[in-house]
């Protein structure tokens, strides 16, 4: 039986019985779980099959597009706290990260199959909202507007601009600014779910002198033998995103880093940096000139894996 035929057989089984684990493929067509798992992995690489983060007996579930709702049948395999976060999000549809407890924030990051992170920018602030994975972008945007208390009249002035997702759980939804608003009003400028895979960092010259904060960062990192591969100034002299090359025993390791020039680092700052690192599939680091608040320390104690460096 050739490889191509095996893959086609497995696809048919997934389409009929998915989500499934490798042992279920073996029961249908024989062979062994290692061989079935290898074929499923190849199909994931070819984007013909999707792999879950939820596991059944130590194995992830495999399914095809259109079977997303069936993942809810396997929620029983989550731990108790993650199940509670699942129920909270399913009932609420949208959750504002800053309004959740430290434990709930960790759990929302654990249930990747059901919780889609959205980076929401309004005014000069950026926050993370969590969207129920089956909720449409249009409905999610309306619920977020409700949370941000955007008046109904202003919602009707500008329509939501949407870009069709290229693959599961990816969206890039933009909100136009709502006319000439007063300074005291919140102005949602952008709502988006960053791409699952990071944009390849380009080895381009970095103008360190373009920003005094960036210059300070570069001088500090030099003392740690850490190189800057890519830098993007988000807010002049106060917030910069970087891709760093950090030395280790096995060579240089790429890190996503968010640098903040502020007196105190909140739990929201840590959450935002952590989520971006997860989305870019890079270890995360937060570089700061200030101190970490008590609430932020509580979040760090709940298994949030992020490095904190104070300049």
Q: Are residues 239 and 306 in the same domain?
A: yes
188 and 254 share a domain? no
pLDDT of 91-107, one tens digit each?
999 999 989 888 888 89
Residue 248 has pLDDT above 90, yes or no: no
Question: Do residue 92 and residue 27 come from a single domain?
Answer: no
Q: Is the pLDDT of residue 24 over 80?
A: yes
Q: What are phi and psi of 17, to 5 degrees?
A: -115, -5
Given pLDDT bands bounded at 50, 70 and 90, which one contains residue 207?
Answer: low
The CATH number assigned to the domain holding 296 equals 3.40.1350.10
Predicted confidence band of residue 183 (pLDDT cuts 50, 70, 90): very low
**122/177 Cα distance (integer angstroms):** 9
221 with 278, same domain?
yes
CA-wise closest residue to 111 among 195, 53, 169: 53
Q: How far apart are CA 119 and CA 124, in angstroms?
A: 13
Q: What predicted TM-score, i.e. pTM, was given to this entire model?
A: 0.56
Residue 200 domain-assigned (yes or no): no
Residue, of 135 and 38, whose pLDDT is higher = 135
Give the position of tokens 């640098």: 259
* 90 and 39 both lie in a single domain: no
Indicate whether 82 and 63 sit together in one domain.
Answer: no
The pLDDT > 90 percentage for the chain reads 41
β-strands 188-193, 171-173: how paired? antiparallel
Q: How many residues does the chain have?
A: 311
The total number of structural domains in the chain stands at 3
Residue 225 region, left (φ>0) first, then alpha (ψ -120 to 50), else beta? left
Residue at which a domain ends, from 68, 97, 115? 68
The mean per-residue pLDDT over the stretch 244-270 comes to 90
Q: Are residues 63 and 85 in the same domain?
A: no
Establish if 22 belongs to a structural domain.
yes
Distance CA 128, CA 299 (A): 15
Listed residue (177, 229, 164) closest to 203, CA to CA? 229
What is the domain range of residue 83? 78-193
């Amino acid at each position: 039986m050739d490889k191509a035929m095996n893959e086609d057989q497995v696809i048919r089984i997934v389409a009929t019985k998915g989500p499934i684990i490798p042992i279920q493929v073996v029961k249908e067509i024989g062979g062994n779980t290692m061989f079935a798992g290898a074929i499923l992995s190849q199909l994931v690489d070819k984007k013909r099959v999707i792999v879950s983060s939820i596991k059944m007996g130590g194995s992830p579930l495999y399914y095809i597009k259109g079977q997303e709702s069936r993942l809810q049948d396997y929620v029983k395999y989550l731990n108790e706290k993650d199940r509670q976060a699942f129920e909270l999000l399913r009932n609420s549809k949208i959750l504002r990260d800053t309004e959740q407890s430290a434990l709930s924030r960790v759990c929302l990051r654990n249930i990747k199959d059901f919780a889609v992170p959205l980076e929401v920018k309004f005014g000069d602030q950026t926050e993370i909202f969590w969207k129920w994975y089956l909720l449409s972008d249009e409905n999610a945007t309306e619920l977020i507007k409700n949370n941000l208390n955007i008046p109904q009249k202003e919602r009707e002035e500008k329509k939501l601009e949407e870009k069709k997702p290229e693959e599961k759980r990816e969206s890039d939804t933009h909100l136009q600014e709502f006319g000439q608003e007063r300074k005291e009003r919140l102005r949602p400028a952008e709502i988006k779910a960053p791409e699952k895979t990071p944009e390849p960092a380009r080895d381009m010259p970095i103008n360190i002198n373009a920003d005094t904060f960036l210059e300070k960062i570069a001088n500090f990192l030099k003392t740690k033998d850490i190189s800057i591969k890519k830098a993007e100034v988000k807010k002049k002299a106060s917030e910069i995103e970087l891709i760093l090359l950090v030395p280790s025993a096995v060579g240089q390791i790429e890190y996503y880093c968010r640098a903040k020039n502020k007196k105190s680092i909140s739990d929201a700052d840590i959450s935002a940096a952590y989520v971006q690192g997860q989305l870019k599939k890079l270890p995360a680091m937060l570089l700061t000139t200030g101190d970490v608040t008590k609430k932020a320390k509580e979040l760090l104690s709940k298994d949030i894996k992020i490095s904190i460096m104070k300049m």
